[in-house]
Copies of this chain bind each other. A is one copy, B any other.
């Protein structure tokens, strides 16, 4: 039975692209953070959508479950097989062609296995911007970005992956190819299948291609680091900046002083812009399509007003691209500094922007009560309401034993998220990791609708089972 199935796969993809030996399969089985290693009947590496369709049909006929996989950089165990050894991995990594770039329509059409960075570069070569940007961009694939509706640092201005995609090509769980590669800004002909497949984490079909939006390249972006007293002042600053700069505000990141000290400790070579310490910092970025001068003036005027109103205690404006990069590096080194300090308990949450200050107060107090002197590493995309809200042990206490509190701490944080009408997964998705949480926090009506859709589109249950639902 398995032999027949594998034979059929070899006929479809070519014998070199059906991997079965443990050594060949190993690179496809372990998740990005190294927390879990699954097993697989085989790893399939199709070269085009037609082959994907044939392989999915083979899986359907043999009732074999498949796990679509891109760059394997996901953080919720969404793209690795389970431990049964009965699932196959369907790796899209060979399908990495830029199919077309249309500078007049401002769209790029790509294979799902294209590396995000390669798409950014292809756009840049035509003086266009593909704005999706995140830490893993050197190895993640656009198929994975779309399947998880990836966020990243440009959401404030350009939206999530879903908002950056106009059309999809998808192999359905029946092994049919749906050619929905439309490059249209407006299309009201029936249900939004594009939006449904995006963020479905490979449970409703395999994304094999996409049409993505491109934007004009801006002329200049300038960053500033602003010291603020509290998250509440940071929110008032956000409001002021959006009023004045509108879409010109392209970054607004919050960092607590604890985050900044972590970076200072573990990366002493990075210049710390302020002599004094402040409770919180905002890294903000203003972008102009007119000129560098325009961006600088807009930033200066806005920050002057913020200082006058007492919303900011101090501010450092970059005067060169290098300085802007240096300010961003402080923000980007927080995850690395955390890793250097020792593992902690991570949460990727979002809240209504107006609830963030209260959430931080209330949740911090609850954590202190349950775990005295625990330390909160709180930073994130404040403009999107997205916090990376991580919890570390008290100063000097061992990190590894603290991780045993993960369940209890998740519960405190996520119950608090629920109370403030937030989300337990802002940008990473559900995967296998947060399935139980989904059941706990989603209304039953909503889960029932999701399950009905899953059963309708994938009646055999072969598409990435055990993920999301």
Show the binding face of A for B, using Cβ within 8 Å. Answer: 102-107, 148-149, 151, 155, 159-160, 162-163, 172, 176-180, 182-193, 195-196, 198-200, 204, 215-216, 218, 235, 239, 242-248, 289-290, 298, 350-355, 381, 383-386, 421-430, 434, 438, 441-443, 445-447, 449-450, 452-453, 455-457, 468-469
Q: Which residue of B lies closest to A104 (CB)?
A: B354
Which residues of chain B have C-beta atoms less than 8 A from A354's C-beta? 102, 104-105
For this complex, 8 residue pairs linking A to B, each with C-beta atoms less than 8 Å apart, are A151-B186, A162-B195, A178-B446, A184-B422, A185-B353, A186-B384, A188-B430, A193-B446
Query: Which of B104, B191, B239 is within 8 Å of A200, CB to CB?
Result: B191
A160 to B162, CA, bound (A): 14
A242 to B218, CA, bound (A): 10
Query: Which of B190, B199, B443 is within 8 Å of A442, CB to CB?
Result: B190
Which residues of chain B have C-beta atoms less than 8 A from A242's C-beta? 106, 216
Chain copies in the assembly?
A: 2
Which residues of chain B have C-beta atoms less than 8 A from A469's C-beta? 190
Q: Which one of A190, A424, A446 has the highest number of Cβ atoms from chain B below 10 Å of its Cβ?
A: A190
Which residues of chain B have C-beta atoms less than 8 A from A176's C-beta? 445
Q: Which one of A186, A351, A422, A450 has the highest number of Cβ atoms from chain B below 10 Å of its Cβ?
A: A186
A162 to B284, CA, bound (A): 28
A102 to B354, CA, bound (A): 8
A423 B188 Cβ-Cβ under 8 A: yes
A423 B190 Cβ-Cβ under 8 A: no
Which residues of chain B have C-beta atoms less than 8 A from A159's C-beta? 163
A245 to B290, CA, bound (A): 7
B446 A384 Cβ-Cβ under 8 A: no
B192 A350 Cβ-Cβ under 8 A: no
B104 A191 Cβ-Cβ under 8 A: no
A246 B216 Cβ-Cβ under 8 A: yes
A190 B438 Cβ-Cβ under 8 A: yes
Which residues of chain B have C-beta atoms less than 8 A from A163's C-beta? 159, 163
A104 B353 Cβ-Cβ under 8 A: yes
B453 A457 Cβ-Cβ under 8 A: yes
